Structure 1
Amino acid sequence: MKVLKFGGTSVANAQNIEKVKNIVANSSKNEKAVVVVSAFGGVTDMLIKASLLAASQNESYKNVLEEIEDKHLKTIQELIDINNQSKVISNVKRELNVLETLLEGAFLIGETTPKLLDKIVGYGELLSSYIINEYFIKEDIDSVHKNSKLLIKTDDSFGKAVIDFKATNELCENYFGTVTYQVIVAPGFVASSAKGEATTLGRGGSDYTAAIIAAAVNTETLEIWTDVSGMYTANPKLVKQAFAIPHISYEEAMELSHFGAKVLYPPTIQPVLSKGISIHIKNTFAPEEEGTLITKSSNGKARAVRGISHVENISLLSLEGSGMVGIHGISKRFFEVLSEAKVSVVFITQASSEHSICIGVASDDAEKAKSALEKAFEYEMTLKKINPVMVENDLAIIALVGDNMKSHQGLSGRMFSALGKNNVNIRAIAQGASERNISAVINKNDVKKALNTLHEQFFEDNVKQLNLFVMGVGNVGEKFLAQIEQQRKFLKKQLKLNIRVVALSNSKKMVFDENGLDLKNWKELLNNGEKTGLDAFYQKVKELNLRNSIFVDNTANEAVAKTYENYLNDSISVVTCNKIAASSPYKNYLKLKELSRQYNAPFLFETNVGAGLPIIDTLKHLIASGDKITKIQAVLSGSLNFVFNNFNDKTDFHEVVKQAQDEGYTEPDPKIDLSGIDVMRKILILARESGNELDIEQIENEAFLPQESLDTSNVDDFYKSLVKNKAHFDTIYKEAANKDCRLKYVAQFENGKAKVGLQHVPQGHPFYNLEGKDNIVLFFTERYSEQPLLIKGAGAGADVTASGIFADIIRIGNF
């Protein structure tokens, strides 16, 4: 004999019930089947609502009752042809009349007792099972309805009755051993006491009903049909990459169910556990899918962690004080008090010093537990030996579950390291001696990020997801997005990095998509986005709270640079080609570096010097390996190198500058490059990354621009000044040519001092043959004292700058 249970979503409406009928018809072809059903979707909640309204003497309970009636009558009309409806409708209305009488009683007395509430809330299953059976009969299934109240006997603990298994098993064996129908439809959740009073089995009671019957008739497998394809590695609503676990053990299933896997209610397993009856969780809406098989052994040695689960709305209560140390019976009193207050403890941890006890309870029970404990320990608290109970709210529990976790070293370390890197603060930890479960209490706002982080760590073959929030989609930004789109598949396959652009922003609009933006049409998406703002963008990033978040700044905007502190404070990495932050006052630069270390959020700005050249990265490795920088000489402006490589006696200076701007080698305001401020920032950054304290005001700038050009306030006026001072620039060129030298804008740092300026570079010097927009850096160090370490290559342009930003993101991915 088979036992199949169908939950509320499976019988939510006529269309779903038709799917149930097809499954039952197929399952009962060769052997008898017991079909246990829940109330139609949402009906139990409606019954509770009606009860509460009636008890508060609010006549709107009648409106809820009408909704309940309409739902059942509509389902009958859709399932059963009009010629056979009258009998079914008549019986249902008769039951609803009794329900109405019960609610009227609650209204008149102004309360609902547990006994009365059990009678009321059981109507959902009684009505659904009757209607479904009548539908089966109409569909030529050899079916009969059996009221579970006549089979399952309990004590009189109304609301969550305790099963009398001896009486129940005897009744089930007698009935199911003699019934001749091929299908028996029974309501879940409902039972009766020895006196015949209506009782219910509490939350998840329909699963429990099915398990009780399965154990009584010794079936091989109990099938639980629901709206998902089994027990998942994590909640699929929160973790998109979660997948159904094909096979797990009873113990693993109980652990996952206890910690929030709602497809199965933990007590369900108890009746079948001792008899070795397997449980098969299947999807009513995808019956062909494998689902999850639960047996005594999971045979799951390939993967130590089998699932990740969580419970929300948890509060932590802590009792501590010196008066607890070495005193016998404190723990006993503590838990006895909670038991008497009917507070269920879901999490326990105690310091080995006996100085404190910390527990987790449902948030609804927190104040009741606090009050009970403070009353019990009032004497010790008066003497200051025990402190008042501390309560922390808005928490959740996450748990790793697996039978074979004890055989694998380092799981706890991997768990807490992954959470720590994503700024998920852990309030408490518990791990049983069996090592089947590692639990941690975290802020409930971090649940989604924590689940995704852990799922990535333990189930996704070490594919790391990086979530990018990109500000700035001009020349560099556009090239950067194109490179990501081009390389995405390669990075996922070869480097195990799944890079997603979650947000884009320009100066007017921003667009967000938690699942990742489609980069093939990002321009259209951004144009249709919402109004942007630096704070609005940051708040949205913070609200999403995604793991491995990276803020990417492709602008040259000072206001944007000032927001880095916010991101780093929230453990959001920052990658930028914007030089303003790293060249800002030394205290600010130092603060950003400290925040990066404190919150484990990389702050990378390789493109600040040399665009895509690995200049800063090389410098960091030199310092980290114990070398010391003694001198830096460099041509650090690709734009200025381009200008002076193309400027000669046959060209006009202003035309060459305009060409450099048009080809994307200069900043939007070319004066930033030509004034030397850009190079000053770069040598300043290199000096700081070498370990020196320096501010930009301390750098000597030998300007080559006329004062008139330096004093301009806009780009148009700047170009006019270049035209006006043509003779000045021609003279500069002639002076160098007469010496057979080339003009190079050189930066130098030595003995704690830095300077920048235009120099005449003779033949034979490493800078002489520097072509186009190339940069070159010479690092003189204690190890490279005679022949400097030389880095040379393209140091300007949108493509190479974008590739440098991309490289920084890959560095974070490998972090």
Structure 2
Amino acid sequence: MIVMKFGGTSVGDAARLHQVAAIIETQPAPRAAVVSAASGVTNLLLDAARASAVDGDALSAKLTTQIRVRHHDIAAAIASDHERAAAVAALDQLHAALDDALAAVSRAGELSQRNSDRILATGEKAMSVLLAATLRARGTAAVHIWADRVIATDDRHGNARPDRTRTRELAALEMKPHLDAGSTVVMTGFIGCAPDGATTTLGRGGSDYSATLLGAALDADEVQIWTDVPGVLSADPRQVPDARVVPGISYDEAQELAHFGAKVLHPRTIRPAVSLGIPVRILSTFLPGEPGTLVTREAPADSVKAVTALTNLLLLTIDVPELEDLASASAAVFGALHDDRIEVIAASQASSRRRMIYVVDATGHGGCTRVGQRMSAALDAAGVDAEVGCREDVALVAAVGEGVAAAPQTLSQLLAILGRAEIPVLFTNQQHSNVALTVAVAGKDAARAVLALHDAFVRPQPASSRGRRPRRSHMLAESLRVG
């Protein structure tokens, strides 16, 4: 059993959709494909929904016309008259439902998360219809199933959490009969179903998450994530021109890379696969002959495999004069960060035990002025006398590789490399899991830090592969600019 996921750039137009169909047909049955909306469509849907909420019906209508044109252009390339007509009829029903949802938003004068989920699901639903019809027109038995009949979630619209037990039951009920009959099942990514039957969305990285949730529900032999880069890279090719594909990484390494800024996977994507030990393979729709990156429970653990950076962070320092106030100060800070939905990327306590350091992602929270005031107020409310410091435009650079943090010389080497590059280090953290070493640097130094560490730690590309590197690097950089 293979579950494949195809992202928005992979299904962006009719030619790419036919390429995806050809890839699916090479995989052994039983097989399922999870699809995103065509690239750009989700943003158009969100813009249309926001416009409807503020009496922008004319703009909303203009945007939905663009969506219709995108979908009908893809449908026009379906070779079978019968399949094309059926797909167009299904699209017309989806677009009519979209109009009704936008009208409801206009009447309400606001965009609720519930209505937003209903509207955003249109892109994935349309693409599942189009891909299934394309496969049938090519002579491959296929059926589309919308994930709001399979992926059970709670009712947290916009960022729903899945119910894996119920999802397993629904997958057996809705999908297994089609798979057993030899059909390829095409399912929508990103969306799910609340207990009351309403459509939900899984938040950022939702389509990849859908694929691994489905893989776990169906006891898949492998989950394949087809994207616009040929695997997990040793660094961002915009920062490191000779970044290369890492052939194999562990689940822990994949989660650390995703956590610290790698864009190929979202951190939670791996979790359903981990529980059952299902391999996840990262592949490129545009270079289908490349082996990609295989993510498994265990992988070679002899070196740093990749260097990545998470930017636009804040570095908070909390200086507490009295030792007995440390626990109260920590509780107050973590509570305020939680209440404001500010993600803590890294945290540590100085050896003096009086200084606590937090590296946080406070994007959209007003920078140091707003966050610093919020922390001061929380500490005051807790009755803690503390001094709050804050620095903006901080980057957290991570060197990731199973076991590297356990090697006593690695941290000293890392600091020496950055010292020679004249890059000041603001903060260091050696992960207890032994998977990553992290340092905080000024945002302006992040790209230089990644390049310096990559040059020092990541082994050179094997000579047999060097002939392909210039072309691949160019394609990687171009795909990142486009995608």
- Same-fold call, TM cutoff 0.5: yes
Q: In structure 2, what is the equivalent of residue 780 of structure 1?
A: none
Structure 1 pair 58–376 and aligned structure 2 pair: CA distance change class (3 A): same
2:66 is the counterpart of 1:67: yes
Q: In structure 1, what is the equivalent of residue 44 of structure 2?
A: 46
Structure 1 pair 86–182 and aligned structure 2 pair: CA distance change class (3 A): closer
Give, in whole Å, the separation in 1 of the partners of 2:373 and 2:36.
Answer: 37
Give, in whole Å, the separation in 2 of the partners of 1:111 and 1:148.
Answer: 26
Q: In structure 1, what is the equivalent of residue 7 of structure 2?
A: 7
Q: In structure 1, what is the equivalent of residue 438 of structure 2?
A: 439
Shift of 1:321: 3.4
Q: In structure 2, what is the equivalent of residue 753 of structure 1?
A: none
Shift of 1:96: 1.1
Which of the residues 50, 54, 57 maps onto 2:55?
57
Aligned amino acid, residue 24 of structure 1: I
Q: In structure 1, what is the equivalent of residue 480 of structure 2?
A: none
Give, in whole Å, the separation in 1 of the partners of 2:421 and 2:453.
Answer: 11
Give, in whole Å, the separation in 1 of the partners of 2:46 and 2:373.
Answer: 28
Structure 1 pair 139–371 and aligned structure 2 pair: CA distance change class (3 A): farther
Residues 248-303 of structure 1, C-alpha deviations (whole Å, 9 max, x = no match): 100001000111211111111111101111111111111111100011100243xx
Shift of 1:338: 1.6
Structure 1 pair 353–124 and aligned structure 2 pair: CA distance change class (3 A): same
- Residue pair 1:324, 1:386 contacting (<8 A) in 2 also: no
Give, in whole Å, the separation in 2 of the partners of 1:106 and 1:423.
Answer: 54
Residues 131-166 of structure 1, C-alpha deviations (whole Å, 9 max, x = no match): 111111111111111111111111101111111111
Aligned amino acid, residue 231 of structure 2: G
Q: In structure 1, what is the equivalent of residue 151 of structure 2?
A: 152
Q: In structure 2, what is the equivalent of residue 21 of structure 1?
A: 21
Give, in whole Å, the separation in 1 of the partners of 2:390 and 2:42.
Answer: 33
- Residue pair 1:341, 1:372 contacting (<8 A) in 2 also: no
Structure 1 pair 135–461 and aligned structure 2 pair: CA distance change class (3 A): closer
Aligned amino acid, residue 423 of structure 2: V
Shift of 1:32: 1.2
Aligned residues between the structures: 457
2:233 is the counterpart of 1:232: yes
SS at match of 1:410: helix
- Residue pair 1:399, 1:440 contacting (<8 A) in 2 also: yes
Shift of 1:450: 1.5
Q: In structure 2, what is the equivalent of residue 411 of structure 1?
A: 410
Q: In structure 1, what is the equivalent of residue 292 of structure 2?
A: 291
Aligned amino acid, residue 247 of structure 1: G
- Residue pair 2:329, 2:382 contacting (<8 A) in 1 also: no
Q: In structure 1, what is the equivalent of residue 193 of structure 2?
A: 192
Give, in whole Å, the separation in 2 of the partners of 1:82 and 1:8.
Answer: 26
- Structural mapping, 1:315-354, within 5 Å: 315-323=314-322, 327-354=326-353
Aligned amino acid, residue 395 of structure 1: V
Structure 1 pair 386–409 and aligned structure 2 pair: CA distance change class (3 A): closer
Shift of 1:437: 1.2
Give, in whole Å, the separation in 2 of the partners of 1:281 and 1:393.
Answer: 34
SS at match of 2:177: coil
Give, in whole Å, the separation in 1 of the partners of 2:364 and 2:350.
Answer: 23
- Residue pair 1:314, 1:360 contacting (<8 A) in 2 also: yes
- Residue pair 2:315, 2:392 contacting (<8 A) in 1 also: yes
Residues 591-640 of structure 1, C-alpha deviations (whole Å, 9 max, x = no match): xxxxxxxxxxxxxxxxxxxxxxxxxxxxxxxxxxxxxxxxxxxxxxxxxx
- Residue pair 2:235, 2:308 contacting (<8 A) in 1 also: yes
Give, in whole Å, the separation in 1 of the partners of 2:296 and 2:412.
Answer: 30
Q: In structure 2, what is the equivalent of residue 372 of structure 1?
A: 374
Structure 1 pair 334–148 and aligned structure 2 pair: CA distance change class (3 A): same
Aligned amino acid, residue 374 of structure 2: A
Which of the residues 29, 32, 35 maps onto 1:34?
32
Unaligned 5+ runs, structure 2: 463-473, 475-483
Give, in whole Å, the separation in 2 of the partners of 1:234 and 1:414.
Answer: 19
SS at match of 1:195: coil
Shift of 1:175: 3.3
Shift of 1:200: 0.8
Q: In structure 1, what is the equivalent of residue 168 of structure 2?
A: 169
SS at match of 1:116: helix
**TM-score between both structures, scaled by the size of structure 1:** 0.54
| Structure 1 vs Structure 2 CA RMSD | 2.1
Shift of 1:50: 1.8
Give, in whole Å, the separation in 1 of the partners of 2:234 and 2:352.
Answer: 36
Give, in whole Å, the separation in 2 of the partners of 1:285 and 1:462.
Answer: 21
**TM-score between both structures, scaled by the size of structure 2:** 0.90
Aligned amino acid, residue 338 of structure 1: L
Shift of 1:325: 5.7
Shift of 1:404: 1.9
The worse-fitting range, judged by mean Cα deviation, of 348-357 and 257-266 is 348-357
2:133 is the counterpart of 1:134: yes
- Residue pair 2:313, 2:359 contacting (<8 A) in 1 also: yes
Give, in whole Å, the separation in 1 of the partners of 2:198 and 2:389.
Answer: 42
- Residue pair 2:316, 2:389 contacting (<8 A) in 1 also: yes
Shift of 1:78: 2.8
Q: In structure 2, what is the equivalent of residue 205 of structure 1?
A: 206
Aligned amino acid, residue 40 of structure 1: A
Q: In structure 1, what is the equivalent of residue 477 of structure 2?
A: none
SS at match of 1:206: helix
Shift of 1:393: 1.5
Higher relative contact order (CA 8 A, sep 6+): 2
- Residue pair 1:319, 1:358 contacting (<8 A) in 2 also: yes
Give, in whole Å, the separation in 2 of the partners of 1:177 and 1:205.
Answer: 22
The worse-fitting range, judged by mean Cα deviation, of 363-372 and 256-265 is 363-372
Give, in whole Å, the separation in 1 of the partners of 2:82 and 2:119.
Answer: 31
Structure 1 pair 62–423 and aligned structure 2 pair: CA distance change class (3 A): farther
Give, in whole Å, the separation in 1 of the partners of 2:37 and 2:373.
Answer: 37
- Residue pair 1:147, 1:187 contacting (<8 A) in 2 also: yes
Shift of 1:84: 4.5
Structure 1 pair 326–354 and aligned structure 2 pair: CA distance change class (3 A): farther
2:392 is the counterpart of 1:390: no
Shift of 1:101: 2.0
Structure 1 pair 407–84 and aligned structure 2 pair: CA distance change class (3 A): closer
Aligned amino acid, residue 47 of structure 1: L
Give, in whole Å, the separation in 2 of the partners of 1:174 and 1:41.
Answer: 31
2:214 is the counterpart of 1:216: no
Structure 1 pair 84–217 and aligned structure 2 pair: CA distance change class (3 A): closer
Give, in whole Å, the separation in 2 of the partners of 1:106 and 1:323.
Answer: 53
Shift of 1:87: 2.8
Shift of 1:379: 5.1
Unaligned 5+ runs, structure 1: 464-514, 516-815
Structure 1 pair 369–169 and aligned structure 2 pair: CA distance change class (3 A): farther
Give, in whole Å, the separation in 2 of the partners of 1:327 and 1:452.
Answer: 38
Give, in whole Å, the separation in 2 of the partners of 1:328 and 1:361.
Answer: 19
Shift of 1:82: 5.5
Structure 1 pair 126–370 and aligned structure 2 pair: CA distance change class (3 A): farther
Give, in whole Å, the separation in 1 of the partners of 2:375 and 2:232.
Answer: 37
Residues 344-388 of structure 1, C-alpha deviations (whole Å, 9 max, x = no match): 21121221223222212223254464343222112578x8x312x
- Structural mapping, 1:741-760, within 5 Å: none
Aligned amino acid, residue 402 of structure 2: D
Aligned amino acid, residue 43 of structure 1: V
Shift of 1:432: 1.8
Residues 24-71 of structure 1, C-alpha deviations (whole Å, 9 max, x = no match): 01114xx21110011101111222222222223233222222211111
Aligned amino acid, residue 254 of structure 1: Q
SS at match of 2:277: coil
Aligned amino acid, residue 141 of structure 2: D
2:449 is the counterpart of 1:450: yes
Aligned amino acid, residue 307 of structure 1: A
Residues 64-113 of structure 1, C-alpha deviations (whole Å, 9 max, x = no match): 22211111111111344566533322221221121122222223322111
SS at match of 1:208: helix
SS at match of 1:122: helix
SS at match of 2:422: coil
